Structure 1
C-alpha cells in the first residue's frame, strides 16, 4: 500500500504528539514525514517534504493556518484543517467543501477525514484552490462548492434563488433555471449560508433574500421569487421573514 505522506502543523507540542499518535495507531496508511510549530516552519517543511496532505491547525501565533496557504498559489497537497470550534473558520472551510477535524481529536472523525481524502483525491486540489480564491473575493462574489458524484460545481451565491430540502438531499435552484441536487441536508446548507443573506422560510426551504419579489398573505402566506416560483412560509417563520422584508 502506498503511504500517504503527511505533515502536522500545530503550535502546541501536545497537539502535534496527540495527532501523530492517533494517526500511527488508527490510520496506518498515513506516514508523518514532519512537524512544524508555526507558519514559517510549516512553509519550509512543506516545500522540503512535498507531502500529500497537511494537517493544519488554524489558530497559531505568527500567522494562522490560512496564512500558511497564501504562500502556495498552486498547492500540490491537500489540507485537513485541525481546529477548536471557530464559527468563521469552519464556515469558510465548509463553503469550499474542504475537510476539518475538531480538537480534542476524535478518532472516528480523524479516520473519516483520512478515508474521504483517499476517496476524493481527484477533487481536493481544486477545492483548496477555490478556497484560497474565496478568501479574497467580496462577499457577493463568493462561490459555494456543491459536490456531485463525479465533479464539483462552484456556484456564485448571488445566483442561488432557493434551496429545497428533499430528505437527506438539498436541491439548489439557480437564476439561470438550472438545478443541482446535493447529498447533504438542508440544515447543513442553512448553517453554511448563514450570514450571506439567506433565510429559512419553512422546514423545506431556505431562500436568498435578494431574490424575494413579494410576500403574498393569502393561502397561509408564501413568497414569490425572482424566477416566479412560490415558496411557502410557515407560521413559525412568518415574523422573521416579514422582518427582513421591511
Structure 2
C-alpha cells in the first residue's frame, strides 16, 4: 500500500534530498513537505501521515518543541539532524531512528523500512481491534417494545428499519417483522453508528447486511435478504464514503 510521508525541514535542499530518497525506494509514496513546525502542524491536522521525517534545529519552534505540542501521534517518527546531542531525547520522544546529516543512503533505507514495518504492525493492530469491537457490537441485544409486550433482538440479525407513519418496522434476517411505536429517529440516535446508517428518511440499514449499491433507475441499497431500498440523493455521498471506510464482515 502507498504510504504518506511528511518531511519537515527549514532548508529546501534538505527536503528535496529526503523526498528523492523516499521516491527512489517507494515510487508510489505520497509526500508532503513543511518548512516550519507551524506548517507541519497544519498538515498533520489535514492529512493522514504515516511516517514523519523531522529536523530538529529550525528557526522559531524547533523539532522537539513541535513534538511536545502534539496531543496525539499516529505516525512513525524519524529524526534527521546535523546534531548528535539530541539522540537520547529523540528516543524518549519515540523516534524509530536518528539520522545524522548528511544522511547516508544505506542508513536512510534501513530507517525507512523499519518505519514502514512498524506502521504496518500498528495498522494491523488497529484493524484487529476494530473488528473485535464490531463483533461485540453485532452480538449486542436491544430491547424493543411492541403493543404485545417486549421483544429482544440481536443487532446482527437486524437487516433494516423502516418508518411507517407513526410506527416503525424492524426487518429481521429470519424474515420476522417487529412493529413498534418508537419513532425511527430514536433508533438512529441509539443504534451503533459504526453499523447503522440512515440512507433515507424512511430507512435505516444495518451495513452488515448491505450487499451492493445499484445506481440504475435511482440509487438503491441491495440487502442480503433481497430487499431493495431507496437511498436519498442527499445522503448518497456520505453513505458511499461510510461503506468505503467501514470495517465489516
Q: TM class, shorter-chain normalised? A: 0.3 to 0.5
Structure (1 or 2) with the larger CA radius of gyration: 2
The TM-score with structure 2 as length reference comes to 0.45
